[in-house]
Amino acid sequence: MASVTVTDPARDYLAQLIEKQDVEGMGVRIFVTQPGTRNAETCLAYCPPNEIVPTDEQVDLEKFTLYLDHNSTPFLEDAYVDYSKDQMGGQLTIKAPNAKVPAVDENAPLPDRVNYILASEINPNLAAHGGDVSLVEVVDGSVAVLRFGGGCQGCSAVSLTLKQGVEATLKEQVPEITAVRDVTDHTYTENAYYQ
């Protein structure tokens, strides 16, 4: 069973939304669209009794039942749902670090572990600038060869991002990686975040 945390404020907020639907036995389904891809999105949807899928995992949250989509389960491991009030009312936050790449352990092949860190920790930060980075290959047993895309390609701050962000994170999270190499053609600057 996947480990999904729903905080008390999120439970209360979702229970209020469900109550407004006025459907007996209404629950909430959590699922990942396009799981295991860079376009993966974690979603919540109402789940009326007639839409319950027998293979879904059911989690009793006292005020309602949370249904974990069976096909999404490996990608929902360590997912976190929270609600925080703010001046505009509030915000429901869903974090699923394994949505784009399912969790790997320390025995997984080196490229898989690098890809996991890129997908779960590095690319979400680069996405704020419309950028991303992908693993091309691992050479000499310990050098990650990377290619930047989107807003990172041609960006004037990419060397700082590479050394202080990407390389530092990879070396910390995947100790076998001793260096990174960028093979991106940075002469193309049309989409660069910083020109």
Nearest to 95 by CA among 114, 77, 81, 116: 81
Residue 120: phi and psi, rounded to 5, are -90, -25
Distance CA 86, CA 153 (A): 35
Please tell me whether the overall predicted TM-score, pTM, comes out greater than 0.85 for this model: no
Give the pLDDT of residue 188. 55
Give the pLDDT of residue 124. 82
Cα→Cα distances 35→1, 11, 31, 76, 102, Å: 17, 24, 9, 9, 9
Q: Where do the domains of the chain lie?
A: 5-95, 110-182
The fold for domain 5-95 equals Hypothetical Protein Aq_1857; Chain: A; (2.60.300)
**pLDDT tens, per residue, the chain with 195 residues:** 568 999 999 999 999 999 999 999 999 999 999 888 778 899 999 999 999 999 999 999 999 999 999 989 989 999 999 999 888 888 999 999 888 877 778 888 899 889 888 888 888 888 877 888 889 999 998 999 988 877 766 656 667 676 778 899 999 999 999 999 888 765 655 655 555
**Residue reference for tokens 């006292």:** 62
Strand partners, 150: 131
Q: What is the CA radius of gyration of the chain?
A: 20
- Stated length of the chain: 195
Domain 110-182 belongs to what architecture? 2-Layer Sandwich (3.30)
Give the pLDDT of residue 155. 59
Of the CA atoms within 13 Å of residue 166, those in its CB half-sphere come to: 30
Q: Does 155 show up as a binding residue in the annotation?
A: yes
